[in-house]
Amino acid sequence: MLLMIPGPVQLHERIIRAMARQMIGHRTADFSAIMEFCVEKLREIFGTKGDICLISGSGTAGMEAAIASFSRVKKIATLENGKFGERLGDIAERYTQVERVKVPWGESFELDAVKEALDNGCEAVAFVHNETSTGILNPAKEIAKLAKEYDALVIMDAITSAGGDYVKMDEWGVDVAIVGSQKCLGAPPGLAAVAVSEKAWDYYNERCPYYLDLAAYRKKLKDMQTPYTPAVPLFFALAEALKIIDEEGLENRIQRHRILSAAVRKWAVEAGLELFPNLNKYSSYSNTVTAIKMPEGVSDSELRGTLKKEYGILVSGGQGELKGKIFRIGTMGNVGKFETVSTLAALEDVLMRKNAIKPALQYAQILLRDLQ
């Protein structure tokens, strides 16, 4: 099966092989060397000099660690325009007062709404950079800038942006950011990294969940260890994934993600399909996952089911209220032109049979021409 979903992503052979080895002790110099490499590379990917806390758990463990550990605020604003924004709100409600700034899924935020939440006394803002459920890239820089005018804490879910798109925590003024291993980093699922600025510790809440208490992770970071037994095989895999990123170069990798997603969007538009997100002047289309409206007269099983059965290609459907209304193509991690063209050709075949589109593959191929 070819995975063209927004995580978990297809694994590079090198990453698969990296996991097939004997265990090492996690209180050894061998483990610390691996961890040190991961921490150093993740700092580059997040664009920060801050602490990197590595948690054995999925991305959501990172989200909860980030919010709970820094929840000593009167009120937090959670910006919600999709499933993962709503998850931030759901998590935050367990730890502090929350003002949920909501727009319908796929819509863009107006900065005035964020400003209003800050005027209402929110001391922190949490938002999703790349909202995977709707294929929208939220304006991280603008949101962080506004929050800084109020000296508010800024928490950003960068789970499907870090490693595939620009993330510049220190430059933008983001205090806490999260990434999951199975998205743009190209590693298997099971690790989350939370990057933390010095300022975030002013909001530290010692009554956060024991396992997700980031102060414990920071403490062990001095020895390049984790507080509890880490998922050692996943660290082998993450280190290899980060080595691959290093070899490609972060800038090249971001450009590759941009070209692949631009090709998917171009195909969709030329085929006569409609992209799902509704942009304003601040938001843009995601550069790592593309959400497309399901054409009239085609069901989710006719599209995704046929693609899976006949071609062995997996794309995602809509989540929650968007089930059956959209489909999503992930172009994250180490996939390239081959996987992208194959996916679009297969989609084109399935949709042409339903008379739902016009042929458009060549338009995508033109954009992909210079990609190796």
267, 360 Cβ separation under 8 angstroms: yes
Residue 159 CB, nearest approach to ligand PLP (Å): 4
Name, in order, each residue with C-beta under 8 angstroms of 138's C-beta and a sequence gap of 6 or more: 79, 81, 108, 109, 127, 128, 129, 130, 131, 283
Cβ distance to ligand PLP smaller for residue 35 or 128: 128
Cβ neighbours of 1 (radius 10 Å): 10
Residue 118 CB, nearest approach to ligand PLP (Å): 23
Residue 78 CB, nearest approach to ligand PLP (Å): 13
Residue 66 CB, nearest approach to ligand PLP (Å): 11
Cβ distance to ligand PLP smaller for residue 167 or 271: 167
Cβ distance to ligand PLP smaller for residue 196 or 351: 196
Residue 288 CB, nearest approach to ligand PLP (Å): 9
Cβ distance to ligand PLP smaller for residue 159 or 313: 159
Nearest to 139 by CA among 170, 166, 102, 176: 166
DSSP category for residue 202: G
The amino acid at residue 137 is L
Residue 108 CB, nearest approach to ligand PLP (Å): 16
Residue 128 CB, nearest approach to ligand PLP (Å): 5
Cβ distance to ligand PLP smaller for residue 124 or 187: 187
Quickly tell me which residue has 């580059």 as its tokens: 44
Cβ distance to ligand PLP smaller for residue 316 or 343: 316
Q: How far is CA 52 from CA 212, 287, 289, in A?
A: 13, 24, 26
160, 133 Cβ separation under 8 angstroms: no
Contact positions toward ligand PLP, by CB under 6 A? 6-7, 58-60, 84, 128, 132, 157, 159-160, 180, 189
- What CA–CA distance (Å, rounded) separates 262 from 351? 20
The amino acid at residue 202 is D
The pair of structure tokens assigned to 352 is 């042409």
Q: Please state whether beta strands 326-330 and 191-196 pair in parallel, antiparallel, or not at all (unpaired).
A: unpaired
Q: Which residue is nearest to ligand PLP (CB)?
A: 59
- What CA–CA distance (Å, rounded) separates 195 from 50? 6
Cβ distance to ligand PLP smaller for residue 335 or 360: 335
